[in-house]
Amino acid sequence: MSYSSRLALGALSLQAAFAGTALGNGYQDLHQSAQGLSTAYATNGAGGSDVSAVFSNPASLTRFDGSWTSMATSLILPRNSFENISATPGFNPAGTVTGTPAVPRQFLSTSVGAASYYSRQLQPDLYFAISFNVPWATKSGYPIAGAQRYFATTTELTAYNVSPILAYKVNNRFSIGGGPNIQVYDADFATMVDSTQGANPNPTTDLESRIKAINASIGFNVGLEYQITSATRFGASYRSAIVHKFNGDSKLTGDSVRLAAVVAGLLMSSPNGKAQFKINTPSIATFGLAHQATKDLEIYGSAMLIGWSRFTSTRVEYDNGFPTTIVDNNWNNSWYVAAGLGYQVSPEVKVRTGVAYDWTPTPISVRNPRAPNADRVYAGIGFTYQSDPSWKFDLSYAHCFFQDAPIALAGGNNVPRGTLNGNIKIDANILMAQLTFNLDKFKFPF
C-alpha cells in the first residue's frame, strides 16, 4: 500500500471518533456526505459523485476508478425548547411535579460529526472500499431539576459503524456491491427517581438512576446500480437491521439515607447491578434516480423506507431487584423522500440544492422527550470546487424545519413515572465540509 493510502486510512480511523447529534427521525444520523446534504439527500442511491456515495449504495463504488479517500465533517446547530410542561408524580395523579427551569432549552446542543471513506480498484471490474460512520446517534441532556426529570435527563446513543465493501461491475451498465456492517453501540441513559413515591416530589429528594452499556453486533448492506440510458441512472440498496443485546451497569445514586431507604423498601440487594436490554437499529431500503437533463444540469430523486417497526418497546431487567423498566416505543415504518438539482456553473464550480420531507415514525401516544420525533422538512444548498482532478472540496448548508412535537405520556407503562405533557419545538442549521482526494494523482506535501 502506498504512503498516501496508509496516511488516508489513518485519517479515516481518527475521523470515526466524532459523533454528532442526529437530526433524522428516530435517531438516524443522515449526515454522511456534504454533497448529500446540499441536495437534502436527493443524491442518495444513485446521484453521488464522490466515494461517499457508497454509504447509501455500495454498488456506486464502481464509478470511482483508482484509489480515493474522502473525509466529511458536520456542524449541527439546533435551537430547541420544551414548553408548557405539566407533570404528575408516579402513584399520585392528584399531585404535581414542578421543575426548574420552567422551560428547558438547548437540551439538544451544538455538536460535531464526521464520516470517512477509502476505496481502491482491485481489478478492472472489482472494487474495494471501507467506510467509518455513525449512522445512528442521539444525544440530549435535560436539567436534572426539570419537570421532565422522571422521564429523561441524559440520553446518549451512538452506533459506530465500520463497513468493508466489495463491488463488481457486471457490465458497462450494471453493478452490484455489498458487505458487512460491523457496529459498536454505546448507550448511556439517566433518569431521576422520586424517592417519596409521589408523596412530595422534589429535586432535593430525588435519586439518579443511570445505565451504561456497550455492545458489538453485525449486519450487512447490499446494492445495485443500473445505467438505464447514457443520461439516466437508477440505484437501489438495502441496509439490514441490527440487533444489539446489552448487559450493562446500572447505578442508583443520591443522598445516602434516602438511598438506603429506597433499597430496603424495594428489597434490592444493592443500589448497583447489571441491566439487560435490547435495542434494534432499523433496516433502510433506498431508491435513487439521477438524470443528466442537459450538459450542465442534473436532476436527482431519492426515497428511503426506514424499518422503525423493529424498534419495539424497550424492557430493562435488573439483577439487583430494581423494578423492571418498560419504555413504550412501538414505532411505525416511515418514508424519507427528496428531490434536487445540480448545475455546473463553471469548469471548477458545481452548485446543488434540494428539499426533502421526513415522516416521523413515532405515534403521539408514545413520543418521549429522549427522542422527540416529528415530521420535518429539509432544505439544502451547497457547491463543489474542483480546480484539478486530484482533489475537490464540498461545502453545504441545510436547514431543518421541525413540526411541533407534543408530548402526552400517561397511563400504561408510564404509571411508575407519572404523566408528562408539553410541546417540544426544534429547528436546526447544519453545515458540512468535505475533502476528497484521488490518491493516484494527489501528492501529500508531507
User: How much is the pLDDT for 286?
Assistant: 98
User: How much is the pLDDT for 198?
Assistant: 86
DSSP-assigned states of every residue in 388-433: ETTEEEEEEEEEEEEPPEEEEE-SGGGGGG-EEEEEEEEEEEEEEE
User: How much is the pLDDT for 64?
Assistant: 97
pTM of the full predicted structure?
0.92
Give yes or no for a contact between 409 and 420, defined as CB atoms under 8 angstroms apart. Answer: yes
C-alpha cell at 253: 445514586
C-alpha cell at 118: 477509502
User: How much is the pLDDT for 445?
Assistant: 60
Contacts of 381 (CB under 8 A, 6+ apart): 38, 351, 352, 353, 396, 397, 398
User: How much is the pLDDT for 181?
Assistant: 98
Specify which residues 105 forms β-bridges with: 81
Q: Which of 239, 188, 243 is nearest to 216 (CA)?
A: 243
- The Cα 400–Cα 380 span in angstroms is 9
Give yes or no for a contact between 325 and 246, defined as CB atoms under 8 angstroms apart. Answer: no
Contacts by 202-206 with C-beta closer than 8 Å and gap 24+?
A: 203/99, 203/100, 203/144, 203/145, 203/149, 205/255, 205/258, 206/144, 206/149, 206/254
- The Cα 190–Cα 195 span in angstroms is 15
- The Cα 337–Cα 239 span in angstroms is 17
User: How much is the pLDDT for 415?
Assistant: 72
Surface-to-core class of residue 355, CB atoms within 10 Å of its CB (0-12 exposed, 13-18 middle, 19+ buried): middle
- The Cα 404–Cα 149 span in angstroms is 21
Give yes or no for a contact between 141 and 109, defined as CB atoms under 8 angstroms apart. Answer: yes
Dihedral through CA 211, CA 212, CA 217, CA 220, nearest 10?
A: 80
What H or E segment, with its residue span, contains residue 260?
helix 256-265
Give yes or no for a contact between 382 and 34, defined as CB atoms under 8 angstroms apart. Answer: yes
Q: Which of 340, 427, 367, 386 is nearest to 48 (CA)?
A: 340
C-alpha cell at 332: 411505525
Per-residue pLDDT of the chain (446 residues; tens, 9 = 90+): 554 444 444 444 444 445 555 666 778 899 999 999 999 999 999 999 999 999 999 999 999 999 999 999 999 999 999 999 999 998 888 899 999 999 999 999 898 999 999 999 999 999 999 999 999 998 999 999 999 999 999 999 999 999 999 999 999 999 999 999 999 999 999 999 999 988 889 999 999 999 999 999 999 999 999 999 999 999 999 999 999 999 999 999 999 999 999 999 889 999 999 999 999 999 999 999 999 999 999 999 999 999 999 888 889 999 999 989 888 888 999 999 999 999 999 999 999 999 999 999 998 888 989 888 899 999 999 999 999 999 999 999 999 999 999 999 986 667 778 899 999 999 999 999 999 999 998 876 65
For the chain, list the domains and their CATH numbers.
3-438 (2.40.160.60)
